[in-house]
Structure 1
Amino acid sequence: MSEDEELAALREQTSHGDRIDEAPAQGEQQKLVKDIIAELEAIDAGEKQKTISVWDGHLAAFIRALEANPDQMDDVGHALQRQLDMEEEDVDRSEILRFALRLGLQKAAPEEFEAVREAARKQATKGL
């Protein structure tokens, strides 16, 4: 790759667009925030459950094996808590799954996951 091609590739990687490019993305983000708030309100009203399910044999086996090995379960839970900048506390099956899902979504889709934080902030301050 020539020096000019390398510079062009670097420019493309580091360009962020302009405000016109960002407007549709912000509109989509706000729609996602609004939809999350609606789902949170439905959960709070008892119209929808807080639980989610995943069908994954390997993951189910892993979690059950961790439960059978409490020291390793604590190690995994504490590692997840550190990655999420949380204080290390005792963990259970549900917390390990919750932390792993949050961490994965936060790493893979940080902008979309930020919508969850924004929706939680908006919902928490709604009645103030």
Structure 2
Amino acid sequence: MSEDDELAALREQTSHGDRIDSAAAKEEQRGLVEDILDELEAIEAGEQQKTISVWDGHLAAFIRALEANPDRMEDVGHALQRQLDLDEGEVDRSDILRLALRLGFQEAAPDEFEAVREAARKQATKGL
């Protein structure tokens, strides 16, 4: 990489936002974490359900077909577990859907999904 290319790359990295933008983004992240914590507390208190539902015929057919082919379901589950750096283990319908959603959110919206991780850490350490 030439010196001009390096300077251009450095300019590009530093030209996106300033401290005010960074502070605003951190504040938004904190707000999302707090909203997630509120929802986790509502679930824990029995005020909200843990379940979510999705209306999608193609995915429903895919999941049912996997259930009819346990070896394939296991392969898909293990692939999802590997992508998420989890130990491979037994998988069922719920695991497949949960892992696929997590992977999708992690890939498509990593900053927002990090808020889920932060909220889970905060909830786990609450009361210590």
2:36 partner amino acid: I
Q: Aligned with 1:87: secondary structure?
A: coil
Q: Aligned with 1:120: secondary structure?
A: helix
1:45 corresponds to: 45
1:20 corresponds to: 20
- Structure 1 gap ranges (5+): none
Following TM superposition, by how much is the alpha carbon of 1:21 offset from its aligned partner in structure 2, in angstroms?
1.5
Alignment of 1:52-91 (within 5 A): 52-91=52-91
Q: Aligned with 1:88: secondary structure?
A: coil
Q: Report the number of matched residues.
A: 122
1:109 partner amino acid: A
2:117 corresponds to: 117
Q: Aligned with 2:17: secondary structure?
A: coil
Task: Give distance in 2, aligned partners of 1:18 and 1:44.
Answer: 39
- Structure 2 gap ranges (5+): none
Following TM superposition, by how much is the alpha carbon of 1:20 offset from its aligned partner in structure 2, in angstroms?
1.8
Aligned CA-pair RMSD = 1.7
Aligned sequence identity (%): 80
Following TM superposition, by how much is the alpha carbon of 1:126 offset from its aligned partner in structure 2, in angstroms?
1.1
Task: Give distance in 1, aligned partners of 2:64 and 2:55.
Answer: 14
**Which aligned runs of 4 or more in structure 1 are off by greater than 2 angstroms?**
7-12, 14-18
Residues 58-97 of structure 1: CA deviation (Å, up to 9, x unaligned):
0000000000000000000000000000000010000000
Residues 37-61 of structure 1: CA deviation (Å, up to 9, x unaligned):
0000000000000000000000000
Instruction: Name the TM-score, length of structure 2 as normaliser.
Output: 0.89
2:108 partner amino acid: A
1:49 partner amino acid: Q
Say yes or no: does 1:103 pair with 2:116: no
Task: Give distance in 1, aligned partners of 2:17 and 2:24.
Answer: 12
Task: Give distance in 2, aligned partners of 1:53 and 1:10.
Answer: 45
Task: Give distance in 2, aligned partners of 1:9 and 1:53.
Answer: 44
Q: Aligned with 2:47: secondary structure?
A: coil
Following TM superposition, by how much is the alpha carbon of 1:11 offset from its aligned partner in structure 2, in angstroms?
4.2
Following TM superposition, by how much is the alpha carbon of 1:18 offset from its aligned partner in structure 2, in angstroms?
2.6
